[in-house]
Amino acid sequence: MEDDDEYDSYWDYDDGDFDCDHEGYDIDILTGVAWCWRCQHKWFVTHEEITREIEHQAEYMAQFECDEVSNG
């Protein structure tokens, strides 16, 4: 098993020198809160951003439903 400490330092963004662009983030569509998985920063998103996320998730799940039908 690999040493977890090696990866802890890689993902440690608590130092003041790290400038995160929040490019990799997730949105909780129930609370309207987004959070960056790299630096753990949280912020509220707009109604439009929540709507886009719901549409994105629906399209993503529809791909799996089409695959199940065609592989049926």
Q: Helix, strand or coil for residue 36? A: strand
Report yes or no on whether pTM surpasses 0.75: no
d(CA 72, CA 59): 20
**Confidence class of residue 64 from pLDDT cuts 50, 70 and 90?**
confident
Helices (H), the chain: 4-10, 47-71
Instruction: Give the tens place of pLDDT for each residue, 16-45.
Output: 556 888 888 999 999 999 999 989 999 999
Flag whether pLDDT at 14 surpasses 80.
Answer: no
DSSP one-letter code for 45 = -
Nearest residue to 18 (alpha-carbon basis) of 35, 47, 41: 41
Nearest residue to 34 (alpha-carbon basis) of 18, 51, 50, 14: 50
Flag whether pLDDT at 7 surpasses 50.
Answer: no
